[in-house]
Structures are given as C-alpha cells and as structure tokens.
Chain A
C-alpha cells in the first residue's frame, strides 16, 4: 500500500516556541489528510484535518499546511505548551475509500 512518512522522528522544543511537524505522503490520489495526537496510554485524538482543495487550515493554536505539488503536509503548533508533548501522526485517505493510512509518527518533547 501507499506509505505516509515523516522526516523527523523526534522534535524537541522549548515551551513557548512554535513547533513544526512535517509529513511526506506518496499517494497523489489522496484527497483528505488528518493530524492526530497520541498521548501515552491513550488512543490517537483528532487535531485538525484538511481537504486537497485547500492549502491551509487553522484551528486553535494549530495550523495545517498542504503542498500538493511536493506531496508535503505540516502541522504548526503555536506557543508550544508542555501539554503538547505527545506523538503526532499524519494520516491520508483517498476519495474512493474509508480507510486511513498513517505515517510513522513524530514525538514532540516540550522543555520548560
């Protein structure tokens, strides 16, 4: 199947700084992308999504950017807080399927 990969397995940031987590996807037919946050001992939680007809979407302190030309997705977290420490996964879905394919994950560590 198609793989969704991440450039950085671990990202360490200082509290208050902005974080950027990157993801490369390989299936050009994917038209829906989601970022999930997984804290220790919990299932993944939805953060934000974006459809392929958009290149940017903003939520509360988070922004997702989609570059379809280079098949790249990023999650930006503003003013990173200790509670943001978790593993972040990107996931993609094609228009003709209900299945989500997940990337390898990036661990975000926030230091005081």
Chain B
C-alpha cells in the first residue's frame, strides 16, 4: 500500500493563527482527500484535493477556512486558517489509486490542539 507521510504529526497552536499540514505520498496517486476527525468521533470529509485546480469542498467546509493545494500527483497541503479551539482535531490525508488500487489509504494524521 501507499506510504503517506504527514507533517506535523502534532502541534499546539494559538487561537487566531494558521497552520499548514503537508502530505507526501511515495508514489503518484489519482485521488487525494483530506478528512477531519474530531475527538472521539468518526471521519468527516473536508475536500478532494484536485491536481492543478481548486479543491472540491464538502458541505460545511470552505476554501477560506481550509485552503488546499495539490501541485502534483504526490503532494498536497491543507491549511487550517484563523484557528479556534473548535478546530482541535486530527486531520488526515488519504489517497486512492496507489498502484491502481481502489482502496482509500490513510496517513497517520496530524493532531492539532488549539488553545
């Protein structure tokens, strides 16, 4: 399966600041997604990161709050902007299409705590 590296693995952030999470995959993939997992809850899809174009956001998520980049087929970033304590979550990068597989593979996640 794909090797997905996320940075940072965890961070403590101050209210009002922004943080960019990086996701690097060891091989080209067709689809990349960003999920949020709030404490003790399930995974919610934030957006699909589209290579070379604007991300496709799910209901309740907007580009101003969660800008996403995907400059190539192996890399994506998610920025959490103007953070508040409600943004404290695990943010997970996931990919599909690694070696042709149709299975969604996840990174280890980035655990953000906003004070």
Q: Which residues of A pack against B, CB within 8 Å?
A: 1, 34, 36, 41-46, 49, 89, 91, 98-105
Interface residues of B (CB under 8 A from A): 1, 4, 31, 33, 41-45, 48, 58-59, 92, 94, 96, 103-109
How distant is A29 from chain B, measured CB to nearest CB, in Å?
17
Contacts of A101 in B (CB 8 A): 45
Residue of B nearest to A46 (CB): B103
CA distance A46 to B103 in the complex (A): 8
B92, A104: Cβ atoms under 8 Å? Answer: no
Q: How far apart are the CA atoms of A105 and B41 in the complex, in Å? A: 7
B59 to chain A, nearest CB (A): 7
Name which of A44, A45, A91, A101 has the most chain B CB atoms within 10 A of its CB: A44
Residues of A within 8 A of B58 (CB): 1
Q: A1-B59, A43-B92, A46-B1 are in contact. Are A99 and B107 (CB under 8 A)?
A: no
